[in-house]
Amino acid sequence: MNASAARVLRGATFLVFFGFVLVALNVVFDGTAWDVTLIPRLLALLAFLFAAVAVVATPRISRLLDVTVWNEPVVPLFAGYLLVTCGSLLVALNASAGFTDLFRTLATFVTLCLACLLLPVVPRWQQHVVSLFVIAGLVAATVGFVEIGGRLGFGLHGRRAMEQITGLMSSVNLFAGLLALILPWCLCGTAVLRTAGRAWAALASVAVLTLIALLQSRAAWLAVLAGAAAAGGIVLADRATFGLSKRARVLVAATFLLVPCGLVAGIATAPADNLFAQR
């Protein structure tokens, strides 16, 4: 295989695997199931992983991979966790109830192993992963806004009404939690991607953050605030890495102090019927 063909094969393998795991899997659901996402997405992921392992094991792909990455501590540690999960079924009073957890753990372990193998196969893989998260953010935000517009109409709605907006998840809280997990990657994209990518990352960040606010999930709000506080602390503490001047550090510190104070003051002085103050 010549160098050009190997490069195309690496790129295609990377895109298919991470594109499915980070983007496509988030839109798999079964509206007739009791839990519209858990089992449908688990089954879809297991089927995809079975096919992915078969493809990666072929000589054309396997010769491009470095399996020594599995020596990193995270892989054997998670393998131990998988063995503990399997062993727990032997002493469980109702072993059948634990099969879902077993297969979720197995799927996570196989995903971890494949991700460790496939991440280094393309140059600048970090930017590619961030780009896929930006796409995931745009897709999730689009689904959320389409649901709001179709079911409630655009505008501010109470929490009770927002419980209809699930974003192809099982509940509004799970959807808001997914958005909170995607948001840091979208914000990262505004810094590490190139010009066009930064614009899309900024759009995804604004859309995801707006949707988190509209969904009125306190757990997601707390996650965003905690993440922002942690990020601000890291930026202020690690001056060498971020290279911020004293004036920039003061500006960052002031922002992270004034924004929470402004939120608290706004909530405290808001009318009793304010949707966000009620939450």
pLDDT at 246: 75
φ/ψ of residue 217, rounded to 5: -90, 115
Residue with tokens 């009770």: 160
The percentage of residues in the chain with a pLDDT greater than 70, rounded to a whole number, is 90
User: Do the beta carbons of residue 120 and residue 55 sit within 8 Å?
Assistant: no
Dump the DSSP string for 131-199. Answer: HHHHHHHHHHHHHHHHHHHHHT-SS---HHHHTT--TTSSSHHHHHHHHHHHHHHHHHHHHHS-HHHHH
User: Do the beta carbons of residue 91 and residue 128 sit within 8 Å?
Assistant: no
pLDDT digits (tens, 9 = 90+) for 204-247: 999 999 999 999 898 999 999 888 888 878 877 776 666 667 77
Six-digit token string for 166: 């699930």
**How would residue 49 be classed by pLDDT, with cut points 50, 70 and 90?**
very high
Greater pLDDT, 275 or 66: 66
Distance of CA 193 to the CA centre of its chain: 18
Neighbours of 158 (CB within 10 A): 13
pLDDT at 180: 95
Separation of alpha carbons 241 and 163, rounded Å? 42
pTM score, whole prediction:
0.88
Separation of alpha carbons 16 and 23, rounded Å? 10
**How would residue 135 be classed by pLDDT, with cut points 50, 70 and 90?**
very high
- 71 CB-near residues (< 8 Å, 6+ apart): none
What number is the average pLDDT over the span 53-69? Answer: 89
Closest CA to 137 of 179, 187, 189: 179
